[in-house]
Amino acid sequence: MRDDATAKIRRCESALAATYGRPVWDGPGNPVEMLVETLLSHNVNDVNRDRAYQRLRERFPDWDDVADAAPEEVAEAVRPAGFPAIKGARIQAALRTIRAQFGSISLDALLDWTDGQAKEYLRSFPGVGPKTAACVLCFAMGRPVMPVDTHVGRITRRLGLVPERATAEEAHDIMDSITPPELVFPFHVEMIRHGRVLCRPAKPACDRCPITAECEFYAGKERGRIDAG
């Protein structure tokens, strides 16, 4: 069963790459920056997330300054991202914890940890769920850990790779277990592009989709048309 799912992922990734182009990971980033950006991204669009992050860095150029600032000042800086008091507090708590454990605000120590150890450590921070931890590991560190965001969750369920009632935790575990490591990053990015362009939440453009042959959602629509006709 797992081999079948992995084979389906390979076919889907190949078709999506032919449609959107295969993205290439551009090398290591700063895990702390990615952690803060992802904490700001919860329940907000990318534009306002980026505005909040830019305001935070302009107001506090050094991460120690963010950690030591008055909570209301950090909240004001990240206000464009929404829920400023909550997000500001989570960011400060994470930065202070990192500094207390490693002596400075750096997550470079995680480079020597296993994926599981790094994931568990990141998940210990308030507000860090499986998607946030996966984003840090995948995008900043190049680890084969699949972030399951809204688009990825919708598409993998429609493909039948993830059960409809799977929790976020379960969805991440499933995708990590069946996705070939070398395809984690490109398949993730391709699914986001696909979810924005064709495989939308409402009225997906199935007539233009390159992976309908693999899609259980599409097969169900076709069966419905046949039964109705």
What's the CA gap between 36 and 148, in Å, rounded? 18
> For the chain, how many residues are written?
229
89-145 pLDDT, tens digit each: 999 999 999 999 999 999 999 999 999 999 999 999 999 999 999 999 999 999 999
CA distance 216 to 42: 29
Q: Among positive and negative, which fits the CA dihedral 66, 32, 117, 111?
A: negative
| pTM, 2 dp | 0.91
Fold match, 2-24+147-224 / 31-140: no
How far the first Cα of the chain sits from its last, in Å, is 34
Residue 224 has pLDDT above 90, yes or no: no
Tell me the chain's radius of gyration from C-alpha atoms.
19
**What was the pLDDT predicted at 83?**
97
Per the prediction, the chain carries an average pLDDT of 95
pLDDT in tens, 78-88: 999 999 999 99
DSSP class of residue 138 equals: I
Give the CATH architecture of domain 2-24+147-224.
Answer: Orthogonal Bundle (1.10)
Q: Which residues contact 66 (CB under 8 A, 6 or more apart)?
A: 56, 60, 74, 91, 92, 95
- Break the chain into its structural domains and give their ranges: 2-24+147-224, 31-140
| pLDDT, mean of residues 9-27 | 96
Q: pLDDT digits over 39-90, tens only?
A: 999 999 999 999 999 999 999 999 999 999 999 999 999 999 999 999 999 9
The closest of 218, 193, 197, 182 to 9, measured between CA atoms, is 182
Q: Which residues, 6+ apart, have CB-to-CB distance to 48 below 8 Å?
A: 80, 81, 82
How far lies 17's CA from each of 4, 9, 20, 52, 213, in Å? 20, 12, 5, 32, 16
- Read off the amino acid at residue 210: P
Model confidence at 225, pLDDT cuts 50, 70, 90, reads low
- CATH number for 31-140: choose from 1.10.340.30, 2.60.40.10, 1.10.10.1150, 3.40.50.300: 1.10.340.30
Q: Taking the C-alpha atoms of 56, 62, 63 and 68 in order, what is their torsion angle to the nearest 10 degrees?
A: -90
| Distances from the Cα of 217 to the Cα of 141, 211, 226, angstroms | 34, 11, 15
> Dmax of the chain from CA atoms?
68
